[in-house]
């Protein structure tokens, strides 16, 4: 079975590619070589992959992070974040779902964020984009259910990737994530560690698998308890 993974060169995306390859998928990775904000480029890439065989699984893992206080965000930062994190999910999911429908089979997982449900300082654009991607994926799941196609969301918290380390100075990233930052109204991680990319990849692989055959429109949080179960 072919699995299409966007953001395949990123920390989580590359871990997903490895896990799915280990599970026997043929993985088609999409990263900066295809612009997910362009529906034309996405359509052409999906058509190219389908020439080799049907796409049976899609993982939307491409994402960008632009930080800053909401009142200070530039138009460009807001637009770029929504374009990749929300519109990109729409473009790729639409292109793949159109081809899954006649086959009446397939599974889609969008990698969102626990920030989509918990307010974070300096992350308004990112949180809004991930909330949009989450809502879109659930609505897509409702519309595709009659065709036997499942759509779910994995919402990671702090994960040991360059995106996380870029938020804090040097080695403080992991420690601050675990201990929390009371001044920023941010609790720590009850399990006492940040996630590894493979932790997230395992959740994605489960939701794509037959073990999740009766699970759709769900949002699985993988954050070590950082959002206290909300």
Query: Is 21 a domain residue?
Result: yes
| Cβ neighbours of 88 (radius 10 Å) | 27
Does any domain span residue 175?
A: no
Question: What is the C-alpha separation between 166 and 65, in angstroms, rounded?
Answer: 10
Domain presence at residue 113: yes
What is the C-alpha to C-alpha distance for residues 6 and 84, in angstroms, rounded to an integer? 11
The answer to whether residue 177 is domain-embedded is no
Asked if 105 and 56 count as a contact pair (C-beta separation under 8 A), the reply is yes
The CATH number for 103's domain is 3.40.50.720
Structural domain contains residue 140: yes
Q: How many domains is the chain built from?
A: 1
Write down the pTM of the prediction: 0.95
C-alpha separations of 162 from 5, 33, 61, 201 in Å: 19, 19, 14, 16
Asked if residue 125 belongs to a domain, the reply is yes
Active site residue 126: yes
- Which pLDDT belongs to residue 181? 84
pLDDT in tens, the chain (230 residues): 999 999 999 999 999 999 999 999 999 999 988 999 999 999 999 999 999 999 999 999 999 999 999 999 999 999 999 999 999 999 999 999 999 999 999 999 999 999 999 999 999 999 999 999 999 999 999 999 999 999 999 999 999 888 776 665 555 767 888 988 888 888 899 999 999 999 999 999 999 999 999 999 999 999 999 999 98
Q: Which of the residues 25, 45, 90, 126 is marked catalytic?
A: 126
Residue 50 lies in a domain: yes
Residue range of the domain that includes 152: 2-161+197-222
């Amino acid at each position: 079975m072919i699995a299409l993974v966007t953001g395949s060169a990123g920390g989580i995306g590359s871990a997903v590619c490895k896990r799915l390859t280990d599970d026997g998928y043929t993985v088609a990775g999409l990263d900066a070589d295809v612009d997910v904000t362009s529906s034309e480029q996405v359509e052409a890439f999906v058509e190219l992959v389908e020439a080799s065989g049907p796409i049976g699984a899609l993982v939307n893992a491409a994402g960008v992070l632009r930080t800053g206080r909401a009142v200070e965000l530039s138009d460009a930062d807001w637009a770029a974040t929504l374009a990749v994190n929300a519109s990109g999910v729409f473009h790729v999911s639409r292109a793949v779902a159109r081809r899954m429908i006649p086959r009446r089979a397939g599974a889609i997982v969008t990698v969102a964020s626990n920030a989509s449900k918990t307010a974070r300082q300096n992350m308004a654009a990112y949180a809004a984009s991930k909330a949009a991607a989450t809502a879109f994926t659930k609505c897509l799941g409702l519309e595709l259910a009659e065709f036997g196609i499942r759509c779910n969301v994995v919402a990671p918290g702090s994960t040991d990737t360059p995106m996380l380390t870029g938020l804090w100075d040097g080695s403080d990233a992991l420690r601050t994530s675990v201990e929390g930052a009371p001044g920023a109204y941010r609790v720590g991680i009850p399990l006492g560690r940040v996630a590894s990319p493979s932790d997230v990849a395992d959740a994605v692989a489960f939701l794509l698998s037959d073990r999740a055959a009766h699970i759709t429109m769900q949002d699985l949080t993988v954050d070590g308890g950082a959002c206290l179960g909300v």
